Amino acid sequence: MRTKLPVNKPNSITLLIGLALLVATLTACTPGENEAFIQGSWFYNDLHIQQQVGESFSETYWTFDGGNYETYTCCFVEYQQYGRYTILESEEDRLLLELFNIDGKFNSERFQVMVKIDKDADTISLMRAGPFTRITP
């Protein structure tokens, strides 16, 4: 005669843990998507710096390339800076980057930059400036 082995039915705790893992897995896709979106070079032209008519215009370029970044600004204040970045936070339409190994003008050890993403318009905004237009994919 065969003995029936007990069948373990999932309890509510097991289901909650499984659901939490599923949500964490699906949410984990966002940083990769947002980081992929910002890759390439971006351009912003501010005709009147800080809305002050009569001030010289400023052109700013940002390039993101797989963990490396470079930024260049000219015409009113000129500077170039480059280094590495890591993602501290990623939400639907925002990335919080930490810049490090910074070289160029205005060096610092680490610096945080909030990037607002508008996928519909194919633009980003950085440090309250923008929108930046994509110039290379």
List the CATH number of the domain containing 51.
2.40.128
**Which contiguous run of DSSP H or E holds residue 114?**
strand 110-118
The candidate with the shortest Cα–Cα distance to 85, out of 102, 62, 60, 107, is: 102
Distance from C-alpha of 15 to C-alpha of 57, rounded to nearest angstrom: 58
Q: What are residue 76's DSSP bridge partners? A: none
C-beta separation of 98 from 110 below 8 A: yes
The candidate with the shortest Cα–Cα distance to 103, out of 76, 133, 120, 81, is: 81
Whether 4 is in a domain gets the answer no
Report residue 107: phi and psi, to 5°.
-65, 150
The model's pLDDT over 44-66, given as tens digits with 9 standing for 90+, comes to 987 766 666 655 678 999 999 99
Whether 117 is in a domain gets the answer yes
Whether 106 is in a domain gets the answer yes
Q: Is the pLDDT of residue 18 over 50?
A: yes
Whether 26 is in a domain gets the answer no
Question: What mean pLDDT comes out for the span 10-39?
Answer: 65
In sign, the C-alpha dihedral spanning 80, 125, 65, 102 is positive
Q: How many domains does the chain have?
A: 1
Whether 49 is in a domain gets the answer yes
The residue segments making up the domain with residue 117 are 31-136
Name which of 1-5, 25-29, 117-121, 126-130 the model is least confident about.
25-29
The model's pLDDT over 73-95, given as tens digits with 9 standing for 90+, comes to 987 778 899 999 999 999 999 99
| pLDDT value for 94 | 96
Q: Is the pLDDT of residue 13 over 70?
A: no
Whether 119 is in a domain gets the answer yes
